[in-house]
Structure 1
Amino acid sequence: MKVLTEMELRAKWKTPEDGVYHVEAGTFVTPMAKDFLREKGVSMVIDPEEKKSMTRTPVKKQGDHTYIDAKTGEGYREKPENMTHLRGNLLVMKTHPRIAFRGKVDTIQAKVLLLMAEYRNEPGLYKDLADILNGLREVLGSEVKEEEIAGFSLFGLDEKEIHRMSHQVRETFGMDHPIPDASMGKTALELNLLRAEIREVELAAANAFEDEENDYGIIKALNRLSSGVYVVFCRLLSGYYDRMEE
């Protein structure tokens, strides 16, 4: 485990232009290092852990059956350009619902990254967006590897608490369910759009797994992710992030 000390900070200190000091995921920050950052009036953000790339095991050449059509069982010596990997050497058309779903998840991750770049100097919001991003990466990894999502959580909260917060807004945030309005400002409307787009990804997942026995918990996870974005939306409007910085 990497350790960030006060001495190390002092040795290479340069005040960040945006007032936020980014720390690599998995790094232990000593109490004195945290005190040093506070003295400098700089916020600390732990960047989301980068997932290892899901590289494929190289496909062994097996003549005319190096690649197999997952639908028909037909073998191919070379991969046709209009087909792609479902898993291993099994191929499907690029229009296959599972491939379309992967594209949707890829796009929504890109949008979350843009939001993180835009709000990287707002530690509370940045951290919650990072949690959303990691949740989306977990969903994609589950689909590609066909592994069950276990113990899904966001913001350090389990899925039941996320569901409760998104439905009991008055009890949680002290306000009624907010109806999106242009007067809310750009940040709130970006979050509302993100919530709606994750709903679309959830529908793509339902279509992708419609005829399959197991969705690996993906549809439920996406439902909780859209609820999670709604929680972030409510946190913003209720002043939660402003209070964090006081």
Structure 2
Amino acid sequence: MPIVTEAELREQLGVPRRGAVLRVPVGARLTPAADDLVRTWDLQLTEHAGVVPPAGVATGREPPPAGGGPGGGAARLRTDQAWDRPGRFPVALEGEIPTCLTCGSAVRDKPSHLTQLDAHHFAPKTDARIRLRGRLDTLQALTLAVGARARAEGHAETAGHLDTLAAYCRELLAAEYHGRAPGEIALAGLDEETIHHASHHPEEAVGLPHLVPDATHPETLHWLNLLRCQVREAEVLVLDAYPPDRDDTEVARGLSRAVNRLSSAVYVLELRLAAATRGGER
């Protein structure tokens, strides 16, 4: 089964154009970097039997899931938000040998104190971006764990929304790694601005004042509150990695806004659960 890389897609694409149509071999799968390029520019992939895979491309990989297309179905999946899809490992090991961000030398055998910053560089694990990435990874894991707790308590709707937020955590990781602004968050039919407004005006959103969790609330709500606290800590790490007084790029502004809105989204889930469980109801 042919594997299509980001470099091969960019060779066809030239200057990036949103919605451009690219040709790939029948049954092709995408590398993570290629998949990210497709989603970022909303590229349309068409399979053509006449497209020959580049020499040396590995074949014989396991087939994609049923109903999948290029990229094993990930690039073809279209929901209201392109990031709301199954997870993919974000690191792309392709192209030239990465170099050390500190000394500039090529890194052929990675030492234990370095990790891959992006497709071209390794950095110390104490780098501010790596610290942020570790926290985003933790957020995704915690979001899934809170979702599992919500299901166990019978809060199926909340659990489903947490699945969405876990996907958004993966979007934040991918965006940070590839150096692009994240997509806008959406949850429960609410867009980014509506989520933000609801988090500041809960009386309008759910008919409750601002929430102060206590022992009368269900366990899931306390886990949601812990998740919200962790997101707030991640906001600080974004500012450490992308100081607003020195970095006014689209990536820096986008990550700061996205993590802030993720905090709002978790709080909205807290509010909705508190409203739904008043009087002991689920």
Query: Are 1:126 and 2:159 counterparts?
Result: yes
Change (3 A) 1:236 1:68: same
Q: Measured at CA, do residues 76 and 141 of structure 1 come closer, stay the same or move farther in structure 2, by a change above 3 Å?
A: closer
Partner of 1:217, secondary structure, is: helix
Instruction: Give distance in 1, aligned partners of 2:185 and 2:218.
Output: 31
The one-letter amino acid paired with 1:161 is T
Deviations 1:91-120 (A, max 9, x none): 111110111111111111111111222223
Deviates more, 1:68-77 or 1:99-108: 68-77
Are residue 169 (structure 1) and residue 206 (structure 2) matched? no
Query: Which of 143, 152, 160 is matched with 2:193 structurally?
Result: 160
Task: After TM superposition, give the deviation of residue 198 of structure 1 in Å.
Answer: 0.7
Task: Name 1:143's counterpart in structure 2.
Answer: 176
Provide closer, same or farther for how the CA distance between residues 125 and 241 of structure 1 changes in structure 2, counting only shifts above 3 A.
Answer: farther
Which whole-Å deviations, capped at 9, do the CAs of 1:5-42 have from their partners, x for residues lacking one?
xxxxxxxxxxxxxxxxxxxxx69xxxxxxxxxxxxxxx
RMSD: 3.0
Residue number in structure 1 paired with 2:87: 51
Q: Which residue of 1 aligns with 2:143?
A: 112
Q: Tell me the residue number matched to 2:120.
A: 89
Deviation at 1:170, TM superposition (A): 1.0
Distance 1:122 1:183, change over 3 A: closer
- 1:99–1:207 Cα change, 3 Å: same
CA contact (8 A) 1:67 1:78 kept: no
User: Partner letter of residue 149 of structure 1?
Assistant: P
Give the AA of the match of 2:100.
Answer: D
1:227: Cα distance to partner? 0.6
User: Would you tell me which structure has more helix in proportion to its own residues?
Assistant: 1
In the TM superposition, what whole-angstrom CA distance separates every residue of 1:133-155 from its partner, at most 9, and x where no partner exists?
11111111100111222333222
Task: Give, in whole Å, the separation in 2 of the partners of 1:58 and 1:191.
Answer: 38
The count of corresponding residues between Structure 1 and Structure 2 is 199
Asked if the contact 1:152/1:159 (under 8 Å) is kept, the reply is yes
Residues 240 and 49 (structure 1 numbering): CA distance in 2 closer, same or farther, change over 3 Å?
farther
Q: Select between 122-131 and 226-235 the one with higher mean Cα deviation.
A: 122-131
| 1:182-224 per-position Cα deviation (integer Å, ceiling 9, x unaligned) | 2223121111111111101111111111254421611111111
1:186 aligned to which of 216, 219, 227: 219
Partner amino acid, structure 2, of 1:192? N
Equivalent residue number for residue 265 of structure 2: 228
8 Å CA contact 1:124–1:241 kept in 2: the answer is: no
Query: 2:36 corresponds to which residue?
Result: none
Larger RCO (alpha carbons 8 Å, 6+ apart): 1
If the length of structure 1 is used for normalisation, what is the TM-score? 0.71
- Identity of aligned pairs, percent? 31
- The answer as to whether partners of 1:143 and 1:216 remain within 8 angstroms in 2 is no
Q: 2:155 is aligned with what amino acid?
A: E
Structure 2, unaligned stretches of length 5 or more?
Answer: 1-64, 68-76, 79-83
